[in-house]
């Protein structure tokens, strides 16, 4: 059985389901742990960095990513699979006029395979409630001061849908390679709590 200490109602239901499946011989706890470890080993913000860098250098990929991220991800060797349920990934683009930030107000839904383990603050009740009601103030606390005219959109993830921010490409990076661009991206930039 997975060693999950999450006290949320969903986590409790998952633990109960695992126990029932083990009792009926339909689930091998060792195999499940092995699969979860393999998935966690591959889950890294470097995956999201690669996706962003490709979108910055390839307008066609960017268009496909924004239209249907699940269909575009295999182009860079990634997917939203790996669990019992495939989540729909929505990539939202920051522009001069709009800044996006993601949250999960119910628990901590997060595109783990693309952003790696979620930061502690992402799961905190303070972030989850305040970013919805006072996003500009939350971003300010992260050191991100946006112009008053910039619209801030907050995207609320759930069990079926995950979000990732496509940050604005930094100025004066036209001569950088895709790999060098990936090195400029940060996890907080993918969440929307930082500029890149």
**Active-site residue numbers?**
104, 107-109
Beta strands at 161-166 and 88-93: parallel, antiparallel or unpaired: parallel
- In angstroms, how far is the first alpha carbon of the chain from the final one? 39
DSSP class of residue 97? S
Instruction: Give the three-class secondary structure for 167.
Output: coil
Question: Which residue in 140, 110, 114 sits closest to 123, CA to CA?
Answer: 110
Q: Which helix (H) or strand (E) holds 102?
A: strand 98-103
């Amino acid at each position: 059985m997975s060693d999950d200490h999450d006290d949320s109602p969903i986590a409790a239901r998952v633990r109960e389901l695992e126990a029932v499946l083990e009792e009926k011989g339909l689930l091998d706890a060792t195999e499940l742990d092995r699969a979860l470890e393999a998935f966690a080993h591959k889950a890294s913000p470097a995956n999201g960095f690669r996706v962003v860098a490709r979108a910055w250098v390839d307008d066609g990929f960017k268009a496909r990513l924004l239209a249907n991220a699940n269909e575009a991800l295999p182009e860079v060797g990634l997917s939203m699979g790996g669990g019992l349920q495939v989540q729909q990934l929505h990539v939202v683009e920051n522009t001069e006029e709009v800044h996006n930030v993601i949250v999960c107000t119910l628990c901590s839904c997060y595109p783990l395979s693309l952003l790696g383990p979620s930061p502690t603050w992402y799961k905190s009740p303070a972030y989850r409630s305040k970013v919805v009601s006072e996003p500009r103030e939350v971003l300010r606390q992260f050191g991100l001061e946006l112009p008053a005219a910039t619209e801030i959109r907050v995207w609320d993830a759930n069990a079926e849908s995950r979000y990732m921010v496509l940050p604005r490409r930094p100025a004066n990076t036209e001569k950088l390679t895709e790999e060098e661009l990936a090195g400029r991206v940060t996890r907080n930039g993918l969440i929307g709590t930082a500029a890149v």
